[in-house]
Amino acid sequence: MTPDELRATCLDLNGATEEFPFPRHPEVCTFKVGGKIFALTTLTASPLTVSLKCDPELAVRLRAAHPEIVPGYHLNKRHWNTVTLEGGSLPDPFVRDMIEDSYDLVVAALPRAERLLLDWPGEATRGAARRSE
């Protein structure tokens, strides 16, 4: 995945924005939804990496299965993974799934009104689960 593909994948998600919030590190790019970060990267870095939020149990399994996935760099290592994208060893659809999972974790934690504004597909699933309880 190239830097342009990474940016496009993140920004294709409903309500996603790109920001550069760290004045001391202006090259660090964040992708946010509802004001919360779901992806963090330096698009000009080599190798290209992206840090993504992840379910803690899944994070451990992904790290064990893929040497390109390590605990989040300068982040809560229980909830974040840093993924090396260069070298093509992780297929792009797999990386897209990880980005979408990170986005979904962040959106799921937003207030319901914000989730509804995003037209998030997961909201229908959440509603169905509550009705069946």
pLDDT tens track for 106-132: 999 999 888 888 887 776 665 544 434
In the predicted model, what is the mean pLDDT of residues 90-117? 93
Q: How far apart are CA 130 and CA 32, in angstroms?
A: 27
pLDDT digits (tens, 9 = 90+) for 45-83: 999 999 999 999 999 999 999 999 999 888 878 899 999
**DSSP one-letter code for 13:** S
3-state secondary structure 45-111: CCCCEEEEECCHHHHHHHHHHCCCEEECCCCCCCCEEEEECCCCCCCHHHHHHHHHHHHHHHHHCCC
